[in-house]
């Protein structure tokens, strides 16, 4: 059954807003997209669904930016809800596309892993990846340098991004988990798609790396993760990130209890 976000995307429209410094929310109620104004062009992180691209472009314009100023399109991972709009946005803007090196095969060889069929749709928006992203890469534009951390598990090439944001003269670190979903790590999913159980171990290892990161501004890849659309939620608070990663680890270990030794 096709979900409402793909059938009635306008119902999920959100007024775009500035989070801190040059960082803006341009996503919808279902899935996040973030825009960074680097002072020398824009960086977009995730392009949402193909059906919501028009909302994304409108959000960018409402903030006073021209989508054609987007120079780089980054992705958390190669799933329909995060890269579905990339073909359209890159064609419009000529922006360079970035994707985790280990997710590129999904676009080219394993479209069953794109999470499109789970949404009841067919993926017809394959795009060319200009820059494969590896662990430790730094993506720089204008005043922004984005650290790329490989966090495989949810998909093999999920990438988490970390960068500084200056708000009211103070420097804060913004950060995200590029693939926190446990839904592609269930017994059913792994066997149906012939994916290794080892992905669970990779997922937990990645959480260990992320736990050590200091993040003042937690960016969700879905707004429900950091409750960014709930106005009373503080934007700058390292506790939110720490709690999120800790809770995710507890949730994952509980879900896989008894099956970890069979990895
Ligand atoms: Zn996903």
For residue 179, report the distance from its CA to the centre of ligand 1, in Å: 6
For residue 181, report the distance from its CA to the centre of ligand 1, in Å: 6
pLDDT of 223-251, one tens digit each? Answer: 999 999 997 777 899 999 999 999 999 99
Q: Report all structural domains of the chain as residue ranges with CATH numbers, in order of start.
A: 4-257 (3.60.15.10)
Alpha-carbon torsion (88, 91, 94, 97), positive or negative:
positive
Residue 30, both tokens: 């279902």
Q: Tell me the average pLDDT of the chain.
A: 95
For residue 82, report the distance from its CA to the centre of ligand 1, in Å: 7
Contacts of 22 (CB under 8 A, 6+ apart): 36, 37, 38, 39, 143, 144, 165, 166
pLDDT of 136-160, one tens digit each? Answer: 999 999 999 999 999 999 999 999 9
pLDDT of 171-228, one tens digit each? Answer: 999 999 999 999 999 999 999 999 999 999 999 999 999 999 999 999 999 999 999 9
Distance from the Cα of residue 5 to its chain's centroid:
17
Predicted local distance difference test score (pLDDT) of residue 1: 83
For residue 141, report the distance from its CA to the centre of ligand 1, in Å: 26
For residue 236, report the distance from its CA to the centre of ligand 1, in Å: 25
CA distance linking residue 122 with residue 176, whole number of Å: 28
Q: Are 49 and 2 in contact (CB under 8 A)?
A: no
For residue 154, report the distance from its CA to the centre of ligand 1, in Å: 7
For residue 184, report the distance from its CA to the centre of ligand 1, in Å: 8
CA distance linking residue 2 with residue 20, whole number of Å: 35
Q: What are phi and psi of 242, to 5 degrees?
A: -55, -45
Q: 């928006």: which residue's tokens?
A: 125
């Amino acid at each position: 059954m096709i979900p409402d976000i793909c059938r009635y995307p306008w119902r999920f429209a959100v007024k775009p807003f500035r989070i801190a410094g040059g960082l803006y929310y341009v996503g919808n109620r279902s899935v996040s997209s973030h825009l960074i104004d680097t002072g020398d062009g824009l960086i977009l992180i995730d392009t949402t669904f193909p059906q919501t691209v028009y909302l994304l472009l409108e959000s960018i314009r409402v903030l006073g930016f021209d989508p054609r100023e987007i120079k780089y399109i980054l992705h958390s991972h190669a799933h329909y809800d995060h890269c579905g709009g990339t073909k359209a946005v890159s064609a419009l803007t000529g922006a360079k596309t970035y994707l985790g090196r280990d997710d590129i095969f999904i676009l080219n060889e394993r479209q069953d892993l794109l999470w499109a069929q789970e949404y009841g749709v067919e993926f017809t928006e394959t795009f060319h990846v200009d820059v494969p992203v590896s662990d430790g890469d730094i993506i720089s534009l204008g005043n922004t340098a984005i650290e790329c951390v490989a966090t495989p598990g949810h998909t093999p090439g999920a990438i988490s991004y970390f960068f500084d944001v200056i708000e009211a003269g103070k420097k804060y670190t913004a950060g995200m988990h590029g693939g926190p979903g446990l839904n592609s790590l269930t017994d059913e999913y792994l066997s149906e798609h012939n994916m290794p159980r080892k992905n669970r171990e990779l997922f937990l290892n990645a959480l260990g790396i992320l736990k050590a990161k200091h993040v003042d501004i937690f960016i969700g890849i879905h707004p429900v993760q950091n409750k960014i659309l709930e106005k009373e939620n503080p934007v700058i608070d390292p506790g939110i990130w720490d709690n999120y990663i800790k809770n995710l680890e507890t949730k994952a270990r509980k879900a896989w209890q008894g099956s970890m030794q069979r990895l």
